[in-house]
A and B are shown apart, each in its own frame.
Chain A
């Protein structure tokens, strides 16, 4: 992966944009105790990183934007927030892998990249808790789900159904973010082309 000076500046600026959303909006949502904060911030962030991939169509651009945003996230109120930092990098990595394997930039690959990156937010807490607490946490969650389902007269499979429903929702939202990023990225490129021709401002 070789990014030139111009590409690196774009990566830095878009990483700062994602980082400022994480720090500013993230702190606000935490104070308001909004549910699914990770998914909301992840969707906005991945949309920014995917627009970055339209502007810098090189492998590694998306993950670099994510890494910059993750390092800026360390400046959040409350000190080092490792779990969100890992989530941000993983989202960037997944999106970058999909786009790199997908070949030429297309609307479809952006939709898939956005969907898979956002669905990571559903898996992430389980994985991080598994790493920190060990496999015992999975046993405990399984017991809690079985006993909780029995208490409310539900079958354990209905809990799985809720999980699958959530995954479908995350996939849809992420796919939407990918589509939005593709359209927005093309608009940004068109604006820059007009600006470069001297017919208008870049912004």
Chain B
């Protein structure tokens, strides 16, 4: 990405570009089949490398490849019209094709979703959810993030106190007690946060979130993606 011209890098670096590439990848991943899906996979991976390289991270994990191999193998072994049979299992070309389709579609979707989530900051996601009606969520996420270490410490302390006082002998009572103590501790923290926020005249209504804007320089990219998706879907159908 560092070797790209500056203008192109600026175009591909925005949230709007990430959202466009995500939508494009989803559409071609869902609508294309067989050889067209292979082409879609190539396009989606190239876009991911340019726009959100972090999206390719799942492909470096062994777990992802094990999962995909299991999908292709299982589909091949249990597919219809097997060429060779070994008891209940067989080698089915149509099953292998279906497995390959599933694996390619999965790679496209996993890369697109991971790329989008890694390239869009949490406060933008919070702002987006606020616009959907979850008012004050950005504030709540910020507070929760700061309270996390405090609450973890309090949970461990409560658990150890319960264990040392033989509270675990009756599991149901222990669960209820643990829940009450943990929630009460959280409410005490919440009361302190409320007091501090009120003392600073904070209001969740007054918080202004940066709006989601489409930049003019992204328009050619979006037009190209829409046209490419249209052609791919047309031929694939």
Q: List 21 A-B contacts (CB under 8 A).
A: A5-B197, A5-B203, A5-B204, A10-B190, A12-B147, A12-B190, A16-B143, A16-B147, A20-B152, A21-B155, A51-B183, A60-B133, A71-B126, A72-B141, A79-B57, A132-B109, A133-B102, A134-B102, A147-B89, A151-B87, A203-B185
- Known contacts A20-B148, A132-B109: A5-B198 contact under CB 8 Å: yes
Task: Give CA–CA (A23, B190) in the complex, Å.
Answer: 20
- A48 touches B (CB below 8 Å): yes
Contact partner of A48 among B75, B99, B126, B179, CB < 8 A?
A: B179
Given A64-B134, A192-B184, 20 further pairs, Cβ under 8 A: A1-B134, A3-B136, A5-B198, A5-B204, A8-B139, A11-B140, A17-B155, A17-B186, A20-B152, A55-B187, A68-B144, A80-B117, A132-B109, A136-B99, A137-B71, A180-B179, A184-B179, A202-B188, A203-B185, A203-B187
- B125 adjacent to A71 (CB under 8 Å): yes
Chain B interface mostly: helix
Task: Give CA–CA (A10, B176) in the complex, Å.
Answer: 19
Interface 0/1 of A125-155, CB less than 8 Å to B: 0000001111011011001100110110000
Q: In the complex, which residue of chain A has the Cβ closest to the Cβ of B68?
A: A133
Determine the chain A residues whose CB is within 8 A of the CB of B105 once the complex forms: 132-134
Nearest 9 A/B pairs, CB to CB:
A12-B143, A13-B186, A16-B144, A9-B190, A143-B78, A13-B190, A12-B140, A133-B102, A184-B179
- A8 adjacent to B140 (CB under 8 Å): yes
- What is the number of contacts between chain A and chain B, taking CB atoms within 8 Å? 191
- A202 adjacent to B152 (CB under 8 Å): no
- Known contacts A180-B175, A180-B176: A72-B145 contact under CB 8 Å: yes
CB distance from B104 to the nearest CB of A (A): 10
- A87 touches B (CB below 8 Å): no
Determine the chain A residues whose CB is within 8 A of the CB of B80 once the complex forms: 143
Determine the chain A residues whose CB is within 8 A of the CB of B125 once the complex forms: 71
- Known contacts A10-B187, A180-B176, A184-B176: A133-B71 contact under CB 8 Å: yes
Interface 0/1 of B81-105, CB less than 8 Å to A: 0000001110000010011011101
- B118 touches A (CB below 8 Å): yes
- A139 adjacent to B180 (CB under 8 Å): no
Task: Give CA–CA (A171, B38) in the complex, Å.
Answer: 42
